[in-house]
């Protein structure tokens, strides 16, 4: 009976994640810990271990495996495959800027 934020912070404490919970770094560390500590449950439709999942190269398969095995919603979300493909397409050929420092927005 706590808010999602409190739940997340409590999980971060259990996982030993000390980064600011509002950062993508902290949330990614939590995801990586959580998947290997009981959240990832392979379903017969996507029978991949977490290690196998991390090597998938098909966007649709990886997206639907994550939904089925990590999030486990009552109803499927096929639209997430389209969204995942769109984000992949934005990042796949993105070059990381070098030198000079400073923030550069990678996507308009």
Determine if the pTM surpasses 0.85. no
Number of neighbours of residue 86 by Cβ within 10 angstroms: 10
Domain ranges of the chain: 1-39, 41-93
Cα separation of 81 and 98, whole Å? Answer: 31
- Whether residue 75 is predicted with pLDDT greater than 70 in this model: the reply is yes
> What is the pLDDT of the chain when averaged over all its residues?
89
Question: Crossing angle, helix 4-15 and helix 24-34, to 10 degrees?
Answer: 70
DSSP bridge pairs for 46: 43
Cα separation of 101 and 17, whole Å? Answer: 27
Task: pLDDT band for 107, please (50, 70, 90 cuts).
Answer: low
CA distances from 8 to 19, 36, 66, 99 (A): 12, 16, 19, 35
């Amino acid at each position: 009976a706590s808010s999602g934020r409190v739940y997340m912070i409590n999980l971060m404490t259990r996982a030993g994640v000390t980064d600011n919970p509002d950062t993508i770094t902290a949330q990614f560390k939590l995801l990586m810990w959580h998947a290997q500590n009981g959240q990832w449950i392979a379903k017969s439709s996507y029978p991949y271990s977490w290690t196998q999942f991390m090597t998938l190269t098909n966007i649709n398969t990886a997206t639907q495996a994550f939904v089925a095995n990590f999030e486990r919603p009552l109803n499927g979300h096929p639209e997430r495959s389209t969204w995942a493909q769109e984000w992949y397409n934005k990042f796949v050929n993105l070059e990381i800027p070098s030198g000079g420092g400073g923030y550069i927005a990678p996507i308009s």
